[in-house]
Amino acid sequence: MGVDANLEVDVDVDVLSDVISSLRSGRPFANREDRAGTWRIPFAPFAGAGFHIVLNGSCRLLTDDAPPRALDTGDVVLTPHGTQHTLEGAGHTDEVTSLLCGAYRLDRTRSHPLLTTLPEVIHLRAQFGRHPALRSAVSLLGDELRTPRQGTVSALSTLLDLLLVYMLRAWLDDESGSGTPGWSAALADPVVGAALNAMHKDPARAWTVEDLGKEAAMSRAAFARRFTGLVGQPPLAYLTWWRLSVAARLLKNGDTPLDSVARSVGYGSRYAFANAFKRAHGIAPGRYRLRHGGDRQPTRWDPESGMTG
């Protein structure tokens, strides 16, 4: 049976994909570090998210405000706020520790609320049966680094993109079972999650709280209480925030006319859009495009001095 080369897979817009798209700026960077004996690698604070994978061996992660964390083979660490930290040898002088260390550049000018809820350090331990997608990505990364072949550069770039998704998924999965209100609970909640996905799928729609409640099969008042309790802000306040965040991304990444940008995020006129955008961003949309549209992205990452161009 043949395969249609034009086959399209119908996948609904989801909040996590939108969050990552809105945060990411430029391509990820990573390099392999093989260390033995007594060693330390300091990582300066930077405007991005750092990550480390222990491919082999063990080490310790040191931060200013927490006890040392022991890292073993297969462990994954994400520092979503670019926190200053240090990796050092665990004291086994005859052991070679192999690490994959890298970073994602993030646009923090209007960070999604989900990012602010992430802890300074996310430590995902290599436990059998947990987070199989993350474990598979780590295994594939290790294979590509151990035996580079034709296509390895492209494969590593794709796998690093997947790694960020799987790290955030793993954290959300772990947190959703804790019973603590917040974005992990909001995305896992069938009512609030459905409303969030609806807003992200069609931000231009003239949503009302009643409409969103219907999407979740709840009354207006009950839905508003539930949404606000988990997300931390009322439904329409979040909708406005998301619309103007999408608009900012469109202004940065293209030359779409302002009228079209306004309509794509639910504003009937460029004047209403311009006023709302200026209230949110402190600058008119046209000037925002001039200021940010040509932003130059970093091409490498120096762990001791942060991300550079």
32-47: per-residue pLDDT in tens? 889 998 999 999 998 8
Look at residue 13 in the predicted model and tell me its pLDDT: 57
User: Which residues of the chain fall below pLDDT 70?
Assistant: 1-13, 109-110, 177-180, 294-309
Look at residue 179 in the predicted model and tell me its pLDDT: 62
**Entry pTM:** 0.79
Look at residue 110 in the predicted model and tell me its pLDDT: 65
**DSSP percent split of the chain into helix, strand, coil, nearest 5:** 45, 20, 35
d(CA 52, CA 41) in angstroms, rounded, equals 12
Closest CA to 80 of 56, 44, 53, 116: 116
Q: How far is CA 189 from CA 18, 85, 296, in A?
A: 18, 34, 39
| Structure letter (DSSP) for residue 269 | S
Residue 144 — φ and ψ, nearest 5°? Answer: -65, -35
d(CA 304, CA 43) in angstroms, rounded, equals 5
Per-residue pLDDT reduced to its tens digit, 1-27: 444 444 443 344 588 888 888 777 777
Q: How far is CA 205 from CA 21, 116, 131, 210, 248, in A?
A: 21, 27, 36, 13, 18
CB 223 within 8 A of CB 209: yes
Look at residue 5 in the predicted model and tell me its pLDDT: 44
What is the DSSP secondary-structure string of 38-96? S-EEEE---SEEEEEEEEESEEEEEETTEEEEEEETT-EEEETT---EEEEE-S-TT-E
Look at residue 178 in the predicted model and tell me its pLDDT: 62
Look at residue 41 in the predicted model and tell me its pLDDT: 95
Strands 40-43 and 85-89: antiparallel
d(CA 232, CA 83) in angstroms, rounded, equals 25
Q: Which domains does the chain have, with CATH numbers?
A: 15-176 (2.60.120.280), 189-292 (1.10.10.60)
- Judging by beta carbons within 10 Å of its beta carbon (0-12, 13-18, 19+), is residue 53 exposed, middle or buried? buried
Look at residue 17 in the predicted model and tell me its pLDDT: 86
CA 16, distance to chain mean position in Å, is 7
